[in-house]
Amino acid sequence: MIKRTLGSSRLEVSAIGLGCMGLSHAYGPAVSQQDGIALIRTAVDLGITFFDTAQVYGPFRNEELVGKALAPVREQVVIATKFGFSFDGSSGTGLDSRPEYIKTTVEDSLRRLGVESIDLLYQHRVDPDVPMEDVAGAVKELIAAGKVKHFGVSEAGVDAIRRAHAVQPVTALQSEYSLWWREPEAEILPTLAELGIGFVPFSPLGKGFLTGTIDSTTSFSDSDLRNTLPRFTEEARVANQALVDLLATVAARKGATTAQVALAWLLAQHTCPSPGTTKVHRLQENSGAVDIELAPEDLEEITAAADRVDVQGERYPAHMQRWINR
């Protein structure tokens, strides 16, 4: 697995990471702890060194799983987690990035992960009730105390990124980015390049849609987040199939899969995508994307063709939009 440095920091990670959320949260029933540990350790064997979790995944169960799975190889890996959601119902928005709350919940994350310091700590979502300067200041204190090594933000807009970075250098932004969600290209990517901040796309395979294994007839379990997403209605899936067909054409020419082409396109944008999966064969497939060579003409073809596809459906339903308001 090739390595990359996030932005201008010294934090080196595998070019493809593992998003661990789906092992405990959002995409149907959680896997057993035994199976989750086995999958994460298989990722290590494949050369993946970058693992992503969060307090809210479970909640809490995912951090515990990741900590237990990576304990034997702690010095070989980079663990990222996130703060910023309330769990006691006291916040009407579900967000809480008050400095004292950050510090308290980070202590809990350290305990669940079984580590002395968190490699990369993200604010999970921008809290409109707490100035970014206060958030960054709290993380700066945690870094000074040796409890955190690097600061990140997730789904933040340009203003929030700049304000945070002015107080405590931001190592990485994590936001959704893929061939079917390219909004970051307009303002986010130029800002990250200017400031020397790395980019870690989540949902790089469009929550599974870009793998080519989902069509209009696919059904999801009752606990699967995709049942609530406008982009996954039957009508939207029919309309969005054109994007998968495009990837399949290139994949056939390259002797690859559609998922590998989608990830290789992201790698060519100098990002470090973190696809998630619960299946070992998908983990192997995703990690193989680093071996797919897309020539400049391939990238131009894919991008131009994707420009012509009018992707249907919002990313999230209205009640979740307040958590992704840039």
Question: Does a structural domain hold residue 238?
Answer: no
Tens digit of pLDDT per residue, the chain (326 long)? 999 999 999 999 999 999 999 999 888 899 999 999 999 999 999 999 999 999 999 999 999 999 999 999 999 999 999 999 998 754 345 899 999 999 999 999 999 999 999 999 999 999 999 999 999 999 999 999 999 999 999 999 999 999 999 999 999 999 999 999 999 999 999 999 999 999 999 999 999 999 999 999 999 999 899 999 999 999 999 999 999 999 999 999 999 999 999 999 999 999 999 999 999 999 999 999 999 999 999 999 999 999 999 999 999 888 777 666 55
Collapsing DSSP to helix, strand or coil, 12 comes out as strand
Question: Does a structural domain hold residue 225?
Answer: no
Give the pLDDT confidence score for residue 94 in this predicted structure. 87
Question: Does a structural domain hold residue 248?
Answer: no
- pTM for the model stands at 0.94
Q: Give the span between the Cα atoms of 226 and 315, in whole angstroms.
A: 10
CATH label of the domain that carries residue 284? 3.20.20.100
Non-local CB neighbours of 281 within 8 Å, separated by 6+ positions: none
Question: Does a structural domain hold residue 165?
Answer: yes
Question: Does a structural domain hold residue 42?
Answer: yes
**Catalytic status, residue 57:** yes
**Active-site residue identified among 57, 101, 122, 177:** 57
Question: Does a structural domain hold residue 54?
Answer: yes
- Parallel, antiparallel or unpaired: strands 78-83 and 50-52: parallel
Non-local CB neighbours of 225 within 8 Å, separated by 6+ positions: 26, 27, 207
Q: Which long-range contacts (CB under 8 A, 24 or more apart) does 226-229 make?
A: 226/27, 228/317, 229/313, 229/314, 229/315, 229/316, 229/317
Number of compact structural domains in the chain: 1
Give the pLDDT confidence score for residue 319 in this predicted structure. 77
Nearest to 156 by CA among 195, 119, 207, 117: 195
Containing domain of residue 158, as a range?
3-205+270-292
Question: Does a structural domain hold residue 216?
Answer: no
Question: Does a structural domain hold residue 123?
Answer: yes
